Amino acid sequence: MAVIFPSLFRPAACAAVTVLLTPLMADTPLPYRDSNQTIETRVADLLPRMTLDEKLGQLSQSVICEPRHREEPNPSLVRSGRLGAFILAIDPAVSVEIHNQFQHIAVEESRLGIPLLFGYDAIHGFRTTFPIPLGLASTWDPALVERAQAVSARETRAAGVDWTFAPMSDLARDARWGRVAETFGEDPFLTSQLAAASVRGFQGTDPGAPGHVAATLKHYLGYSAAVGGRDYNLTEITPFALRNLHLPSFHAGVQAGALTVMSSFNANDGIPAVSDRHQLTDILRGDLGFKGFVVSDWEGVIESIAWGYSATPAEAARRSLAAGNDMEMVSTSYRDTLAAEIAAGRIPPAVIDEAVRRVLRVKFALGLFEHPYTPALAADKVFLQPDAVALARETVARSAVLLQNPDVLPLAKTVKHLALIGPLGDDGDEMLGTWPGMGRPQDVVTLAQGLRAKLAPGATLEVVRGCDLLEAGPRTRTLMDGSVVIDPVAEARETPGIAAAVAAANRADVVILALGEPRGWSGENASRAELSLTGRQSELLAAVTATGRPLVIVTFSGRPLVIPTLPVNAAWLHAWHPGVQAGTGLADVLFGDAVPSGRLAITFPRAVGQLPLFYNGYTTGRPDKRDYRDLPSEPLYPFGYGLSYTTFRYGAVEIVPPAQPGQPATARTTVINTGRRPADEVVQLYLRDVACSEGARPEQELRGWQRVHLAPGETRTVSFALDDAALGFFNREGRWLTEPGDFLVWIAPHAHIGEGARYTLTR
């Protein structure tokens, strides 16, 4: 099961940038400086030359220009070889200068000239910001995601960053957890495909070539299963669930060649992930064959003390390094304590050496010894280039999911008076989403700007904010002690913003309501107990709905929203936080220049009380008794759901026996476009293992999909192989098994629709 990715171990390629040779580099023909040698030869030559302090330096990462960090960047640490990496948290206008300043010290003033690594969170773009990952996942298009991440890598590397902390490979298991915004959704198969695509986009075929960066699979492992959706929390994941739900996306990322992995903040079964040897060594390196290095999350090593797992910084450092966490981010316990731990015999020197080898391999693979410096940044030739902007516009259009449409969309090009109402209609900053890289509000095309560009001559767009995203409600009052009480006086208060919105709606032919949650309410440390619209948006929605005007609701968020008062006669387009081309991409969809093809990568609940809720749950022993007393158990919209501007009809699923012994059976069906517009349909394959000797399997599991483009009236036969990859599962020890027996097979437009066809595997 171990996987070797040979690209990491071939000689580093030469990047097409200016190389500044130092006297040491020019006059000392040492093997580790010879790019014609293999990476393993170079590492084997360099490691014995290093002192213990220099080795510990390679395992330490500090931060530049982060005000809340207690340690200022220290040139003397770099000069003495006691620091191996930085996080850049600065504006790209100065990032290259800062990068080269510290790299100069490392390469030309330190004893061995080992270059630094510079990392940054470029998660869904750098300056060209794409939709958040949960939005990218809604495209169900790995090739598109790979192209977007390649643009991100190009811009990131040009800004002096050679290592990005992405892709996030966690599953979205609870929409209350703010970091579902950074995931590729709730399904391990979909997440695996998109994580691998991201690695390919970031690293290319040669991570040392110009325009590529090292990728990081994060957060390893099980971070998203946090109790109550509360960030940084405890997880209780069984070995069976760990192998089949949380691990596959990391496995796929390793197979794609990811150079680094980040350990997570959670503790599973009481053991902090940063100190979990079974996960970091037995599984990651043993079963998955990972050859790169593992970095902690921000101060993750020292936080094992707060967990109550380690008593001192020395114990935290010793346990984490021995477990397989190679580099410490921001906190300094490795650098401060491990020399004494070695002297006391509490950790073998060989453990240090192995961790350093892993870090050095990545630096050689990135070509940093040959090309340590970044050319001066020409922002106008790197950021927001025409191809990047066009791609961002395409991803916005293809990530938006049409959830409801009673013949309101697409808008007629002849519309005369359009009202855009809501706090998110003309707000560029909010479109950027969580972890927006170096995206800037002034780069954003807002929805208002995108709509104006579509209107015919003489047509008008009236933009009214209506209310603020976080404005306090009119019927409550917060006391000095923080408690909230009913304010009877507020019942009679006038609300000019909402009143103005109602007046604008009454004047309009069509109303577009732009609602949602603030971008700062999703992402890290942004858990929510309620998923409703914030501030007074629910009142705004009710007031505008009461006008009876044709209504389109466009929602922006980093997670599913619960809107219990959503009118059934309104169209609903969910746009996530879409990035710099928000307005253009969404206007393309709203006016029909792009046909919606986004499909949900995460389930939309009816109420928060249903959470955690995901499509691949279990039937239980009493499948007909799963409802609440006051609510059905079914979601509002299931995984895989999404409407189009046309309609599709699926035929019955047919199981075709193997053509020859040893070949797999095939499941196939016909799909016909029964509407009047050409469009893409995302045809999805789901299976259920009816009886599994190792333990109950989920009610449904996505095991494939195909995007098909159909003209009006066109019929297509879509087939899927029922092979080992589709039918198998991991046992608790990590072995892939395919058992004979009965399976249910669905080929459908989304999860939990239709009757499954029965297939019996006899071998």
Q: Which residues are known to be catalytic? A: 297
Q: Assign 106 to helix, strand or coil.
A: helix
Cα separation of 674 and 490, whole Å? 52
Cα separation of 292 and 196, whole Å? 16
What DSSP string runs through 566-627?
--TTSEEEE--S--TTHHHHHHHHHTTSS------SSPBPSSGGG-S--TT----S-TT---
Q: What would the 3-class secondary structure string for 709-731 be?
A: EECCCCEEEEEEEECHHHHCEEC
Radius of gyration of the chain (CA): 27
Residues 607, 563: contact at Cβ < 8 Å?
no
Extract the runs of DSSP E, i.e. beta strands, from 31-190. 60-64, 85-88, 117-120, 163-164
Question: Which of 33, 32, 11, 13 shows the shortest CA–CA distance to 21?
Answer: 33
Residues 574, 555: contact at Cβ < 8 Å?
yes
CA 125 to chain centroid, in Å, comes to 11
13, two tokens: 């390629």
180, two tokens: 């579902």
Cα separation of 50 and 353, whole Å? 10
Residues 184, 190: contact at Cβ < 8 Å?
yes
Residues 253, 287: contact at Cβ < 8 Å?
no
Question: Which of 532, 499, 531 shows the shortest CA–CA distance to 421?
Answer: 499
Amino acid (1-letter code) at residue 381? K
Tell me the sheet residues that pair with 656. 666
Tell me the sheet residues that pair with 671. 650, 716
CB-based contacts of 100, cutoff 8 Å, min separation 6: 160, 373, 374
Cα separation of 273 and 472, whole Å? 39
